[in-house]
Amino acid sequence: MPPPTFYDDRMSDADALTWTIERDPLLRSTIVGAWVLDRPPDPDRLQAKLEATIEAVPRLRQKVVQDPLGVAPPRWQDDEDFGLDYHVRRIGAPGKATRRDLLDVAEPIAMQAFDRDRPLWEFILVEGLADGGAGAILKLHHAISDGVGLVRMTEGLVERSPEPEPARAPRDADGEGPLEPEVSPAPWGPIDETVDAIRYQASRRLGQGRSAAGALLQGLGRLARGPLDAVQDAAELAGSAARLLAPVSEPMSPIMLGRSTHLRLHTFSRPLDGLKAAGRTVGGTVNVAFVAGVTGGMRRYHEAHGASVEELRMTMPINMRHGENARKAGNQFVPARFPVPVGIADPRERMREIHARVAKERSEPSLPALDVLAGAINRLPSAASTVAFGSMMKAVDFVTSNVPGPPFPVYMSGARILEMIPFGPLSGSAANVTLFSYDGVVQIGITSDRSAIPDPERFWECIEAGVDEVIAAG
């Protein structure tokens, strides 16, 4: 049984940043998943599963509340007007009821902003797909969780068998007894919100002060034992933080320049073993092969437009779910931005170079300090923090993300899930290509900005060809 997840009353600074920057619609951070089912799920079982999941995951019944002065990060509070019927909807499949039609339904859903006065998620069941199938579209705000956290949050909806599973009571933090339902504070007035925010921030500052004092003592000890090493460590940390937060003025791509809120979605799948084998040829992983395939596709797309590029700027989330962070809800990743090779034609050589660059990014000493850095940005006025973060993200050419899923088939209320397709947010970039591994297959979802990529069908073909090229090299 996986360890229980802890839910804080307030957002972390990293979560709060994803919430604040949506003053700029181009920086929206909406996660969308599309599931293809072999049949419609049993309605009564699905209703019971949804209700149990909402009871077990506090965030699904909570809305965001900010104090009037913005002293502390936003607070999570139970929505006193919560209604399941608003968040869960059923619609009929349009057109010829193909998978493409399912994605056409998902596109406007992905583009729409959330109602900020309600919990930040939606679930749409699409009935009547071809061959008696059905679809499910899940939409979640990034302030709630990252992709890995979303997998954990939706575990209550999936089963290992088409047959009903016996009901199991949630466990407490020690795994001993039933988990008591979390009680969220009652709605407060402006004065209560402000007082609580000041109290929270004062307590946190005290804790940070103690941590800083401890770090200072450790630093002084290191300085006494090895002055040169201590100074070098401090300089490396400062340089790492500067690289993580450095603003950039424009994309590296000469053609993927426009930015808008008009999205296109596409998906394709490939055998997981093919990417594993390709990654192993250079001592790397599935992720190395995946990124090399995407960069190869980027090269093909630019060449198709008569443009030659050697490098493009990529954002890749680095998972920080280890140690104490493994049990925390919310976002536990660092959005590393760095140039990746595009002009290297040989797929193995490109994989080797990507392997080296990704390893370098994962070793950045400032990665564990993400929440501190996010807090520094959050302390700016909201308009200024939006501009600051926007300067970091809008010049990113593309995003890649790799989320592990179940290695075996799973079901939803009697229906087998055939495909679990991920669509990550653009967050200011031209495209997001996300890989989700499920039952021996990688499902790859592409989100692209229509202003940056006006010919999405050609772009999709190029990305697929790039991935196939890497698999063939394996």
Segment 264-295, tens digit of pLDDT = 999 999 999 999 999 999 999 999 999 999 99
409 burial level (CB within 10 Å; 0-12, 13-18, 19+):
middle
Taking the C-alpha atoms of residue 374 and residue 456, their distance in angstroms, rounded to an integer, is: 34
Cβ 84 vs Cβ 54: under 8 Å: yes
Q: What is the pLDDT of residue 304?
A: 97
Q: What is the pLDDT of residue 472?
A: 97
Active site residues: 142
Cβ 466 vs Cβ 297: under 8 Å: yes
Taking the C-alpha atoms of residue 64 and residue 77, their distance in angstroms, rounded to an integer, is: 6
Q: What is the pLDDT of residue 173?
A: 42
For the chain, list residues with pLDDT below 50.
Answer: 1, 169-183, 208-217, 219-221, 223, 228-231, 233-234, 237
Q: What is the pLDDT of residue 22?
A: 86
Please give the model's pTM, rounded to 2 decimal places: 0.84
Domain 13-180: CATH architecture, name and number where available: 2-Layer Sandwich (3.30)
Give which of 447, 463, 4, 473 is closest to 266, Cα–Cα: 447
Domain ranges of the chain: 13-180
Q: What is the pLDDT of residue 85?
A: 92
DSSP single-letter state for residue 424 = -
Q: What is the pLDDT of residue 249?
A: 78
Q: What is the pLDDT of residue 215?
A: 40
Q: Strand 88-92 to strand 121-127: parallel, antiparallel, or no bridges (unpaired)?
A: parallel
Q: What is the pLDDT of residue 317?
A: 84
In Å, how far are 215, 223, 239, 249, 366 from 232, measured between CA atoms? 16, 10, 10, 30, 14
Q: What is the pLDDT of residue 308?
A: 92
